Amino acid sequence: MQRQILDGDDVYLQIWQTEQDHVRTRWTVITFFLSVSFAIFGFSFQAKLGLSQSIAIRIAGLLIYWFAFLLLLHFYEYTKFLRGYLVDMEKSGRTSLDIQSKADASNLGASKQLSTTRLLFLFGLIYTVGIITLWLLGL
């Protein structure tokens, strides 16, 4: 049995593809849980529900939101590892490609201050304050 030897560019592209697949899966999972959270929150406004039921349902939706956020952080660590490995390959000359370094340098048009993680965290805080406000108002 002969072992196939891959050159650096092939390995780099396989890792890059793995990272892209991971990101797609991560966002699919996160989007699912965020959607469930908002659907539950919307359901809590049913007229036939009592105040205590509405509060309990809203808290459940809020907990699902924060669970999704924690999943995002967890999955992001693996993505950071893969991206770091790609940059390491680029810097050490094990590949002729520089996709990740160029992406990091350009920031892909995103500001570090407005990262997706920070935006979802801020929205989560607003979501939490909103639910507390609804509870205090008795709605």
**Ranges of each domain in the chain:** 8-137
* Average pLDDT rounded to a whole number, residues 122-137: 94
Structure tokens at 46: 């049913």
Instruction: Give Cβ neighbours of residue 66 (< 8 Å, ≥ 6 apart).
Output: 124
How far apart, in whole angstroms, are the C-alpha atoms of residue 78 and residue 71? 11
Give the model confidence (pLDDT) of 64-108 as tens digits.
999 999 999 999 999 999 999 999 998 888 888 887 888 777 765
Whether 130 has a pLDDT exceeding 90, the answer reads yes
Q: How confident is the model at residue 60 (pLDDT cuts 50, 70, 90)?
A: very high
Give the pLDDT confidence score for residue 6 in this predicted structure. 58
Residue ranges of alpha helices (H) inside the chain are 8-43, 51-92, 99-106, 116-137
User: Does residue 109 register a pLDDT over 60?
Assistant: no
What was the pLDDT predicted at 107? 66
Positive or negative, the Cα torsion across 81, 9, 109, 24?
A: negative
> Does 112 score more than 80 pLDDT?
no
The pTM for the full model equals: 0.81
Q: How confident is the model over 9-35, as pLDDT tens digits?
A: 889 899 999 999 999 999 999 999 999
